[in-house]
């Protein structure tokens, strides 16, 4: 898996990622996430070699793992594999090598609109997860993506959250911000206490030196 990141995934990101993305200093520091599932053969998130390779060329590529037991959060399981499988079934295969070639050829033939559809579905699923407080008691939304493509020529790049999901996301964000503010306040208090202790120790040390000088 690590070799695949070095030789295929990271180079492909650098080649295809829009260069204008880095013209803004705000965008340049934003991370590009590469998600993997939690299978043991996959790369560890703290792998030093991977972290160094991810920063080549000024990029900020970060490895993340999908939430456990959440296949709907994996774009491949959510739709990509099914799309590829339907096409590759048309290829004649007699060996593992033939199967690999068929999958690669199928992926290259996969229309970009189909990939856009999968990512739009992923966004809708994430909205459902937020609405159910992180649960899985929901149905994958039917978005009439084929109809949208016929009418608009493409599917929306962004999925509009349902009001309940938007409200819950805002509450969570506000609570996170409040928690960080509390942590920051506690840090300031700790630094102040530490500074006061250092001053007291310095004063005590100076008093002892004065006392010793007086004794002499």
pLDDT higher than threshold 80 for residue 192: no
The answer, yes or no, to whether residue 187 has pLDDT greater than 80, is no
Residue 154 has a pLDDT of: 82
Strands, DSSP E only, in the chain? Answer: 32-36, 61-65
Is 7's pLDDT higher than 80?
yes
pLDDT of residue 210: 46
Q: What's the token pair of residue 111?
A: 């229309």
Q: What are the extents of the domains in the chain?
A: 1-65, 70-161, 163-216
**Best CA proximity match to 102, nearest among 77, 79, 84, 115:** 84
60-86 pLDDT, tens digit per residue, is 889 988 887 788 888 888 888 888 887
Q: What pTM does this model have?
A: 0.66
Please give the DSSP secondary-structure letter assigned to residue 214: H
**Nearest Cα residue to 140 out of 158, 161, 153, 125:** 125
């Amino acid at each position: 898996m690590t070799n695949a990141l070095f030789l295929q995934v990271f180079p492909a990101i650098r080649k295809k990622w829009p260069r204008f993305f880095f013209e803004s200093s705000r965008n340049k520091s934003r991370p590009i996430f590469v998600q993997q599932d939690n299978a043991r053969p996959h790369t560890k998130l703290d792998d030093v070699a991977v972290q160094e390779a991810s920063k080549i060329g000024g990029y900020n590529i970060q490895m993340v793992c999908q939430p456990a037991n959440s296949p709907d959060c994996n774009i491949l399981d959510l739709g990509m594999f099914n799309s590829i499988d339907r096409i590759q079934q048309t290829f004649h295969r007699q060996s593992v090598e033939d199967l690999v070639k068929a999958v690669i050829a199928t992926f290259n033939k996969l229309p970009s609109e189909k990939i856009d559809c999968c990512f739009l579905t992923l966004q809708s699923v994430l909205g459902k997860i937020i609405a159910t407080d992180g649960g899985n008691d929901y149905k994958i939304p039917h978005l009439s993506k084929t109809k949208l493509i016929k009418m608009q020529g493409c599917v929306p790049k962004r999925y509009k959250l349902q009001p309940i999901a938007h409200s819950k996301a805002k509450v969570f964000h506000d609570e996170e911000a409040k928690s960080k503010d509390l942590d920051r306040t506690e840090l300031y208090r700790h630094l102040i206490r530490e500074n006061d202790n250092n001053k007291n120790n310095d004063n005590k040390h100076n008093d002892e030196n004065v006392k010793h000088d007086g004794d002499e």
